[in-house]
């Protein structure tokens, strides 16, 4: 912990490329106190609408809050939602030059209907998705790769946030990882829930939850997995994908870190939290890992940092970037044995429920540390 705290005292800006599936999270808030007369469904009386960065776009904002200069690389549609997402990212200082417009597909938009009944907490009632999961055509793929090659010389880290919406097609993902590896730039991957992780081969680190790792390795368990089983999962991924590190997230059991240079697995325990909303925990985990590694922190310390950042995130309703200063204070408090303090929702963080895609398609709940 001392090494991590020392790095935080001397935290330096860094440069990141974020590759992945960029989404607009649209939050439609209202009162839901009655049922429809023509069907047994609640009626939402809309009071306000809010648009937020989701998916890989949320990862960009997390990295910005940790001191990074960020270049966003992905696909948007030629539509109003794509324009809104560009504006949100640019307003937070994210470079959108490498966001390619593809007029054949819509911008991924997750519309969340959020009702407040009888003065209670806001509750997500329903979600409407507009998206395409098709892989990009050859011309668009060539543009993405060219944009990546142009941005790579200035990058300290590359983050791949894959929600299986088509952008991280196997050929493109493999090409980007190979180019980054040749350039000596580490690549950190938050994988999609897939049966085959081969497109991530050669990355520096991967951060699956246990369910995702079991699906990718074909090593399922029907009971709560033993530590030995978790180590086998991490080892299988490490060896098959030629990785430097596997960070296997284990819900309330924290995380397991396994590196190629040390056969001994490192457990990183969880911290007791007042969990409010798991949205965005996977994005925060990846951001924290990449940020710490970009600042020269070892693997164990980097996972501790990411663990603390993700823990703060789940205490927020919805998604909100966690400033580096707040993560630093959290780690100082934990090091002093004082625990984590009050939930972030009472510390002035911006509330609002987002649309965590991994929560429905891969289990972001198992990323919560």
Residue whose entry in the numeric block shows the structure tokens 């054949």: 104
Cα separation of 47 and 31, whole Å?
Answer: 7
Q: For the chain, state the CA radius of gyration.
A: 20
Residues 6+ apart with CB under 8 A from 281: 310, 313, 314, 356, 364, 367, 368, 369
What b-and-e string marks burial along 310-346, b requiring 16 or more CB atoms within 10 Å of the CB? Answer: bbbbbbbbbbbbbebebbbbbbeebeeeeebeebbbe
Classify residue 192 by burial, with Cβ atoms within 10 Å: 0-12, 13-18, 19+: buried
Structure letter (DSSP) for residue 326: H
| Structure tokens that stand for 140 in this block | 């668009």
| Structure tokens that stand for 91 in this block | 């307003």
Q: Which residues are known catalytic residues?
A: 283
Cα separation of 275 and 296, whole Å?
Answer: 30
Angle ∠(311,313,198) on CA atoms, nearest 5: 80
SS3 23: strand
Residue whose entry in the numeric block shows the structure tokens 């997390």: 62
SS3 8: helix
Q: Are the beta carbons of 170 and 198 closer than 8 angstroms?
A: yes
Q: How far apart are the first and last CA of the chain?
A: 17
CA distances from 339 to 173, 209, 285, 297 (A): 40, 25, 19, 22
């Amino acid at each position: 912990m001392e090494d991590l705290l020392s790095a935080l005292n001397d935290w330096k800006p860094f440069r990141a490329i974020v590759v992945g599936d960029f989404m607009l999270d649209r939050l439609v808030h209202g009162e839901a106190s009655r049922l429809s007369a023509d069907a047994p469904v609640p009626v939402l009386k809309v009071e306000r609408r809010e648009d937020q960065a989701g998916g890989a776009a949320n990862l960009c904002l997390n990295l910005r809050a940790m001191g990074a200069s960020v270049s966003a690389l992905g696909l948007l549609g030629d539509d109003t939602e794509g324009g809104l997402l560009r504006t949100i990212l640019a307003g937070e200082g994210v470079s959108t030059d490498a966001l390619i417009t593809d007029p054949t597909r819509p911008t991924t938009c997750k519309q969340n209907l959020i009702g407040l009944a009888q003065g209670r907490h806001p509750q997500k009632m329903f979600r409407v998705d507009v998206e395409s999961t098709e892989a990009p055509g050859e011309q668009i793929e060539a543009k993405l790769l060219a944009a990546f090659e142009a941005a790579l010389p200035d990058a300290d880290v590359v983050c791949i946030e894959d929600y299986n919406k088509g952008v991280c097609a196997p050929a493109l993902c493999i090409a980007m990882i190979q180019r980054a590896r040749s350039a000596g730039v580490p690549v950190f991957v938050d994988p999609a829930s897939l049966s085959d992780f081969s497109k991530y081969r050669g990355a520096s680190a991967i951060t699956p939850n246990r369910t995702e790792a079991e699906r990718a390795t074909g090593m399922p368990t029907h009971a709560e997995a033993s530590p030995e089983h978790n180590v086998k999962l991490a080892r299988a991924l490490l060896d098959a994908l030629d990785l430097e590190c596997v960070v296997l997230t284990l819900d309330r059991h924290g995380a397991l870190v396994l590196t190629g240079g040390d056969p001994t697995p490192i457990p990183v325990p969880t911290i007791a939290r007042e969990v409010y909303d798991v949205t965005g925990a996977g994005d925060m985990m990846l951001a924290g890992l990449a940020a710490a590694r970009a600042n020269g922190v070892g693997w164990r310390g980097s996972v501790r940092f990411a663990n603390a950042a993700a823990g703060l995130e789940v205490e927020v309703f919805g998604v909100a970037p966690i400033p580096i200063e707040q993560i630093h204070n959290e780690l100082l408090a934990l090091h002093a044995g004082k625990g984590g303090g009050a939930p972030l929702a009472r510390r002035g963080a911006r509330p609002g429920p987002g649309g965590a895609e991994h929560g429905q398609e891969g289990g972001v709940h198992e990323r919560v540390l």
